[in-house]
Amino acid sequence: MTLNDIAAELVAGCRENRAMENLDKLYAADAVSVEASDPMGMGREAHGLEAIKGKHTWWDSTFELIGGDISDPYPHGDDRFAVRFEVKTRNKETGEVSEMDEVAVYHVADGKIVREEFFYPTG
C-alpha cells in the first residue's frame, strides 16, 4: 500500500468504527504508539501491535464516541501523514462528557505504519 492508501484507509476505518479491524492491515508488528501523556497509567509508549491493540481495547471499554470530526489526512513527504481528531466522548463508567482535540502523526515504512504520535493538551 502507498502512503496515501494507508492514510485514506486509516481515516475511513476511524470514521466507520473499523479502527481495531484495521490494526492488522495497516500496522507493522513492531509498531510504536506514543501518547503526549500517560492516560492509562502504563507509560507513554506502547511497543508492538499487541500493545497497540491493548490501547484500543482500553479506549473502547472506557469511552463512547458521541460526536465529532476526523479530518482527511495531511500527507508529509512519502513517509508521514497527520490526522486531526475533534471528538466528543462519554466516559462509560462516570457518564462524564468531554471534548478532545488531538493531532496524530503516523510514520510509514515498507507499506505499514511503524510509529504513531499523539499531540494534545496535557494541562
Q: How far apart are CA 82 and CA 67, in angstroms?
A: 20
Nearest Cα to Cα of residue 105 among 82, 86, 75:
82
Residue whose cell numbers read 502504563: 42
Q: How far apart are CA 45 and CA 62, in angstroms?
A: 19
Stated as kind and residue range, the H or E segment containing 96 is none
Per-residue pLDDT of the chain (123 residues; tens, 9 = 90+): 999 999 999 999 999 999 999 999 999 999 999 999 986 677 899 999 999 999 999 999 999 999 999 999 999 999 999 999 999 999 999 999 999 999 999 999 999 999 999 999 987
CB 52 within 8 A of CB 23: yes
pTM of the predicted protein model = 0.93
The β-bridge relationship of strands 45-47 and 27-34 is antiparallel
What is the set of domains in the chain, with CATH numbers? 3-119 (3.10.450.50)
